[in-house]
A and B are shown apart, each in its own frame.
Chain A
Amino acid sequence: AQSVTQPDIHITVSEGASLELRCNYSYGATPYLFWYVQSPGQGLQLLLKYFSGDTLVQGIKGFEAEFKRSQSSFNLRKPSVHWSDAAEYFCAVVGYGNKLVFGAGTILRVKS
């Protein structure tokens, strides 16, 4: 069965610093991959997605992610973090049966 691993439960970065959130997936075929962001007490908002083509995808709010098949990874990046980026981030994969499976999430804290 497909699965998603986000190895970092919490990450703290300084405002203006770069950010990389890690995501590894397990799926036998070409995956459809997503990154969502969740502010406290809110639903999930899609940041970006990948399902074919260019392996570097651009999303909203200045985020990007790179799909690396050889590493089974889909890491999320942002060159300069803003305080408003503090939230929880979820990586997800659509696999067998069209089910969307999420990682456990990474909580991002931004310090000024």
Chain B
Amino acid sequence: SQTIHQWPATLVQPVGSPLSLECTVEGTSNPNLYWYRQAAGRGLQLLFYSVGIGQISSEVPQNLSASRPQDRQFILSSKKLLLSDSGFYLCAWRRTGSSGNTIYFGEGSWLTVV
């Protein structure tokens, strides 16, 4: 069966420090991968999605970047964090082939920028 792992689960970082959140999927190949952010009291905002290795689409201009160095690995990064980067970050994956395929989410990573 397929599983998705996301880490770290919680992170407290000072303003201006770098960020790296990692997500890996097991049990499938060539998944579509997504990074979402959920700020306190708000809905989910799509940040990045990827349909293949090295292919990244950015949805919102921001202080973050994403990379997909391997088929089942998706990394969210920042060179210098801002206070506004605080939030709950969710990685997700979906099988390719049909838009109706379910998207599955990781457990999420809480980022607090202080």
| Chain A residues in the interface with B (C-beta under 8 A) | 6, 32, 34, 36, 41-46, 49, 51-52, 90, 92, 94, 97-105
Contacts and interface: CB of A to CB of B under 8 A. Distances in A.
A62 B59 CA distance: 35
Please report whether the interface of chain B is mostly helix, strand, loop or mixed according to DSSP: strand
Identify the interface centre among B44, B45, B90: most chain A CB within 10 Å of its CB: B44
Interface in B50-75: 51, 57, 59
Interface of B: 32, 34, 36, 42-46, 49, 51, 57, 59, 88, 90, 92, 94, 98-100, 102-108, 110
Given A41-B110, A98-B32, A46 B102 contact: yes
Contact of A100 (B34, B43, B51, B57): B34
B100 A52 contact: yes
Nearest to A91: B43
16 contacts: A34-B103, A43-B105, A49-B100, A51-B99, A52-B100, A90-B43, A97-B57, A98-B49, A98-B51, A98-B99, A99-B49, A100-B94, A100-B103, A101-B46, A102-B45, A105-B42
